[in-house]
Structure 1
């Protein structure tokens, strides 16, 4: 039997006998036919888990902040970072007087109490400096008190909370005393804050607030601004910051819709990283990404919240976000509903506040009773250890998602999430670049309505059955340990054209062969092999995003871990018989007016033409178009005209597009079957 090494005070872990079923998982002898295929690819290396990965929020209005009961529960769950003084309160909170004019501050929630709780938890602090009603000097004095006077060694400091919610874009919930509420003003103050704070302690890391791509006000350019909030802040303050800070409340009118939003993570982080690289100037690659608030709209303290937490933390960490933080430790009930047979109080908290709804129609369980998302966080603590590398996974069923990490000892831990509230699913686990041992694996589960995790050995490395609305963490050992395997290659770089990419890397040692793989769901594609430290890959598709890894293999056939991933996008032909210019000319956050200019570069006239492009995601759509005939089939858009284009002539067409997630714009266009140059 397996016993978690972390103390589970109050977490309700149950140990099962070796022959017992776990959450409906049968023994190998009675295994059901599989109905879902999950691929786990150890060759597809993603991000490495850092030392602040699993985080939560604290608030000065929470009377339980820093108490032994709460700090021990957070420690048991493996929490590595705690944020203070709490969301929008940060922009009215003054640390020296421990006051928040216009808001409530509970007794015994001052900064020293918070730090004592963080230390007892074993977590790093993430501190929000007051931008809305504070000053750079106040923030610098806080750094001095924390790191010089008290020697807390607080590394991470964010300037403000959701400062784009100050009224500049219409909606106003964030305090902001500045006469100018533009991103330009915020950026200039970020520079002033960072300068003053780092003058006290140059070792700290300072973060600026951005908006998550696909979330309001992403894409919107307000009156008087030169660009979006993210563009303005990065352009003006990029050189002064060490990380950017975003929040993500993806919404959804049903639990199923909310759980489906995690499919947007990879594109959202890609766009955010691209914005940083494009606008933040030289050395932008040093800038990290923190996700300091996230939660769901439906099922906040029942199983949908738990499933979302496991999926979103894993998805963001795999894409290189260095910390993900749940909102909130305590929040309080709103209204009671029933979700999948369980009472949900619409409570953002991980732990019960022990209070009743406003109409006294329902009361929460006793104070600090863990809600379902707490147990999911606790399972994440067993899943994603500091130093583990996420690896690629894929599922053929949208209701079953999977994440996996490779540990330093060679083990693979696979987290499988069944988002189906009604049906169990028997999953076939297929491994690539990894051969599991025949031993019965350890399985740790959390099921709908359970008051804790269950753990034991069950199923096989290749087959597991998941109860409806459940989480399962399957830990498998390799068939053999490759103690002398080569090290992973490092420092990947790529130079891409429209059809080729030259990929290079740092050598892992002498006498090795290198294999270059393209990530492709849960089964990577081998692009080529070489004994050198570079490879030119032909036959790529113009305007396509590629993520690659390099692995080293020695003469004995031992394979290294995967390199860190490298993502690049192929361009368009340097010269073509046509040119396309695509622009987003007016964006309102979930739709935009697009403009396309088409030029005939050929020597002859074109009599009738069809322009074709493909939306990069499934949540983008054509609403209407003009100056041509527009239609959409699946994700493919065709723009057709009977008109002519003489040699050297141009024409313009326009459309209204809609999107319900990160708006990745198309980068490849064909005119009458010819790939155009994109400018």
Structure 2
């Protein structure tokens, strides 16, 4: 009998053999088992918010996990098709898109598990509707006024400044889109755009790409704006024919200190329509000796000989000439002027065909500022005796007429002078015309309001006084020559090259046309910069005066960039200031053979001025808006005409002048309106001069 120990060993051996056989550890047949499947991780994320978004996931993963809240992961065998569905909203935020999906439709993301995959659901915060505020500059305007409207767009505290654009509308009016700057914009509503009555302005905000994800489009409205109709009309009486129109109103002074051979002068004058010149230059006339081109106390330009003046300026430009005879000094500068010198000058002028039509005896002889070596200086009786009459052979009148009987001889007048001048001179001398100078302002006291709205009409007052004086002297029909004119009698400042002097000049031309003035010459064309002793600009540069220039000048054409302080920003030589532009526009009106017509303004007579004349069988008007900031809507009617085959409008305005701030001296604008029914409707820009030609 075996021992218990032996039996146990046998049992273990048999059992081990059975196990080895079952596991293929022994001989006999065998089988191969497949490897475990490949698995991948699906990560589900969210943006805005980044956590806490409950997602529906199907099917459950290998660990029997399905739905979850971001961010979370699921494990799937390769090739498993998984669907993840996001909620449409997460808090106040709205679902916008999926990223990382094999395909997506709305809130559903399809994933084919072939790699570790991350899918992200993005949510957007809710858009803000901004507040749009509309604030007109005024809540009561007329149809003749434009309106500035401020629009602001605010997203509220903590939100970014809205960007984009706004449009403004009311009734039939709609503005162009205006881009926001720092959340605001200004829209200018043109005059006549809003209906008469009570108007509410609506501003519509459209966000741009930078703001479209944050802001909704929005609108805002203003309080009511009351619009009142104002009817300003200009009527022309075509049957009321006034004085003959002459192009001799279009004149400029030139002086012997300036080189008349300068090539830019003639083309500049011709472009501006200049027809007449006066020489040799104001107070210099009483010291200038033409035969030798010399002066008592000064030195003329070496090229400023009378021959050069005629050959290089007068004849090429075909200008009419007025000369001022030297009354103050003789050729040796030790006695008074000599009539024989004036007569010899006219003889020479006739010989070289110098186109001299007028000669005035002396310059402003009533003034103490004039050089006068007569025993009684600046004395009316002495002056009248020196001028004399046709029978006074030694006098200026007789000797000038003896040299050329066609030359008109004139005397200086200055109504209201103290001591009395005009009554003595007009009663005791012979003359063919009188010469008057008009400067309505004193230096340092210039006023834009006065210059633009009153000064030109002041000239007509002076002309009426002179006519009354001539009537008293028994010579009521004597022609009046305005030999000098300007805005200020000395030391011109910034006003001299501003739109303000241009508007004054244009109205002066209109007043002189209506007054029947026979000839006029502005002081001065070229060569008279107002320069201080140290080479700096002189004159009134007050901020109360409108203008962009930093100099003052008598000359109304630029002398170019080398002209000291007046060369800064005044353009190339020959560039026209607003005053020269006034002459250019008026050259369409001051045409020989035409006649003045009566133009009446009804309505806003403060800001609208009108002048009219016949024009090649039609009618021409010069219309001024002397309001600095408000456009004027007007109607124009003609008494004997209801239609026009063509209407054209040429305009020089403040807006055109303002370009000079950047060195641009722009031309007037021209609009051809074609065939028109009358009355004609026009809008006059602020501070503008407008020439309107109405053909038959």
Tell me the TM-score range normalised by the shorter chain. Answer: 0.5 to 0.7
- The answer as to 2:217 corresponding to 1:45 is no
Q: Is the CA contact (8 Å cut-off) linking 2:608 and 2:625 kept in structure 1?
A: yes
By how many angstroms is 1:204 displaced? 1.3
Q: Distance in 1 between matches of 2:399 and 2:481?
A: 22
CA offset digits 1:105-135 (Å, max 9, x no partner): 1131211122121222221000111011121
Provide the residue aligned with 1:271 in structure 2.
465
Residue equivalent to 1:401 = 609
What runs of 5+ residues in structure 2 fail to find an aligned partner? Answer: 1-187, 197-228, 330-336, 389-394, 531-536, 658-664
Aligned to 1:325: 521
SS in 2 for 1:68: coil
Counterpart of 1:256? 449
Q: Would you say 1:391 and 2:597 are equivalent positions?
A: yes
Please tell me whether the aligned partners of residues 630 and 686 of structure 2 are also in contact (alpha carbons under 8 angstroms). yes
Contact conserved, 2:558 with 2:567, CA < 8 A, in 1?
Answer: no
Local SS of the residue matching 2:682: strand
Deviates more, 1:89-98 or 1:366-375: 366-375
1:234 corresponds to 2:426? yes
CA distance in 1 between partners of 2:343 and 2:625 (Å): 47
Secondary structure of 2:591 counterpart:
coil
2:499 aligned residue (275, 298, 303): 303
Indicate how the Cα distance of structure 1 residues 235 and 341 shifts in structure 2: closer, same or farther if over 3 A, else same: closer
CA contact (8 A) 1:125 1:155 kept: yes
Q: 1:351 to 1:219 in 2, by over 3 A?
A: closer
1:352: Cα distance to partner? 1.5
- Who is 1:76 aligned against? 271
1:294 aligns with 2:485: yes
Question: Do the aligned partners of residues 47 and 356 (structure 1) sit closer, same or farther apart at CA in structure 2, a change above 3 Å counting?
Answer: same
Residues 66 and 427 (structure 1), Cα distance of their counterparts in 2 relative to 1, 3 Å cut: farther
Query: 1:302-331 CA distances to partner (integer Å, 9 max, x unpaired)?
Result: 101111111001111221111121110121
- Residues 1:163 and 2:365 aligned together: yes
Distance 1:474 1:288 in 2: 29
Deviates more, 1:314-323 or 1:28-37: 28-37
CA shift for structure 1 position 153: 4.3
State the Cα deviation string for residues 169-188 of structure 1 (Å, max 9, x = none): xxx21110111121010011
CA apart distance, 1:69: 1.4
Q: Which residue is equivalent to 2:512?
A: 316
Residue 421 of structure 1 is aligned with which of 620, 628, 652? 628
Please report the TM-score for the alignment, with normalisation by the length of structure 2: 0.58
* Whole-angstrom distance in 1 between the partners of 2:193 and 2:607: 26
The Cα shift of 1:40 comes to: 2.0
Instruction: Tell me the TM-score normalised to structure 1 length.
Output: 0.59
SS at structure 2 position matched to 1:306 = helix
Q: Which whole-Å CA distance do the structure 2 matches of 1:83 and 1:123 have between them?
A: 10
CA distance, structure 2, for counterparts of residue 74 and residue 197 of structure 1: 29
CA distance in 1, matches of 2:288, 2:564: 27
1:210 aligned to which of 406, 413, 420: 413
How much does 1:199 deviate? 1.4
Alpha carbon RMSD of aligned pairs, Å? 2.8
In structure 2, distance between residues paired with 1:359 and 1:156? 35
Aligned residues: 429
> Greater relative contact order: 1 or 2 (C-alpha under 8 angstroms, separation 6 or more)?
1
Q: 2:667 aligns with which of 452, 456, 461?
A: 452
The answer to whether the 8 Å contact 1:41/1:391 transfers is: yes
| Equivalent position of 1:86 in the other structure | 281
Q: Cα distance 1:438–1:54, how it changes in 2: closer, same or farther (>3 A)?
A: closer
The Cα of 1:258 is off from its aligned counterpart by: 1.6
Q: Which residue of 2 aligns with 1:431?
A: 638
Partners of 2:265 and 2:566 in 1: CA distance: 25
CA distance in 1, matches of 2:412, 2:370: 12
Distance 1:25-1:323 versus aligned 2 partners, 3 A rule: farther
1:247 pairs, out of 425, 432, 437, with 437
SS at 1:292 equivalent: strand
Determine helix, strand or coil for the equivalent of 2:469: helix
Per-residue Cα deviation, 1:510-565 (whole angstroms, up to 9, x for no partner): xxxxxxxxxxxxxxxxxxxxxxxxxxxxxxxxxxxxxxxxxxxxxxxxxxxxxxxx
> Which range moves more in the overlay, 257-266 or 87-96?
257-266
Instruction: Give ranges in structure 1 of 5+ residues lacking alignment.
Output: 1-23, 166-171, 223-227, 479-679
Measure, in 1, the Cα distance between the counterparts of 2:647 and 2:566: 46
Question: What is the rounded CA distance, in whole Å, between the counterparts of 1:157 and 1:469 in structure 2?
Answer: 37
- Per the TM alignment, residue 421 of structure 1 is displaced from its structure 2 partner at its CA by 1.5
Q: Which residue, 472, 481, 494 being the options, matches 2:690?
A: 472
Give the secondary structure class of the aligned counterpart of 2:278.
strand
Distance 1:236 1:477 in 2: 49
Tell whether the 8 Å contact from 2:497 to 2:547 is kept in structure 1 after alignment.
Answer: no
Aligned to 2:387: 190
Deviation readout 1:467-512 (Å, 9 max, x if unpaired): 111111111123xxxxxxxxxxxxxxxxxxxxxxxxxxxxxxxxxx
Q: Is the 8 A contact 1:337 1:345 kept in 2?
A: no
How do residues 532-543 of structure 1 correspond to structure 2 at under 5 angstroms? none
User: 1:629 corresponds to which residue?
Assistant: none
Computing the radius of gyration over CA atoms, which structure comes out larger, 1 or 2? 2
SS at match of 2:236: strand
- 1:92-103 counterparts in 2 under 5 A? 92-103=287-298
Q: Which residue of 1 aligns with 2:347?
A: 144
Q: Is the 8 A contact 2:408 2:432 kept in 1?
A: yes
Give the Cα–Cα distance (whole angstroms) in 2 for the partners of residues 243 and 442 of structure 1: 37
1:153–1:82 distance in 2 versus 1, CA, 3 Å: closer
CA contact (8 A) 2:589 2:620 kept: yes
> Which secondary structure does the structure 2 equivalent of 1:472 belong to?
strand
Task: Name the structure 2 match of 1:577.
Answer: none
